Amino acid sequence: MKIFLVLGKCLTALFWGVVLANLLQPFAQPFALLLNGAGAFILLIHALELWFFNARLSACPKPALQRVQVMLFGVFQLLGLPAEQAAVAADAEPQDTLQLEVEHA
């Protein structure tokens, strides 16, 4: 699984390098537009991942660094997070709900 994550991160970094190169020196016209569109779409998907997994990323020791890496690598970074962080995030949510119920009573 780790090889899959490293390979995915390398390919994603290569993709962002090509998108950046396209912004600095545009490729031939149909490819430049398609590459810019693909880059914008992937950036939107990574922003949605940040929103959906905010609680899990907040449980990390360095959440700002993890958020930057999620913006760059997306799901490959999320899958590489340790399992105990997922358990901490999952445990935190029901307790918050329980506290809200107690406060309203």
Residues 2-50 have pLDDT tens digits of 899 999 999 999 999 999 999 999 888 889 999 999 999 999 999 999 9
| Predicted local confidence at residue 84, as pLDDT | 61
Mean per-residue pLDDT over the chain, rounded: 84
Residue 97 clears pLDDT 90, i.e. is over it: no
| Predicted local confidence at residue 67, as pLDDT | 92
Which 8-state DSSP code applies to residue 23?
H
| Residue 80: pLDDT band with limits 50, 70, 90 | confident
What gap in Å lies between CA 24 and CA 8, rounded to an integer? Answer: 24
Query: Mind spelling out the 3-state secondary structure of 49-105?
Result: HHHHCHHHHHCCCCHHHHHHHHHHHCHHHHHCCCHHHHHHHHHHHHHHHHHHHHHHC
| Predicted local confidence at residue 65, as pLDDT | 92
What gap in Å lies between CA 105 and CA 92, rounded to an integer? Answer: 20
Supply the pTM of this predicted model: 0.71
Q: Would you list the domain boundaries of the chain?
A: 2-104
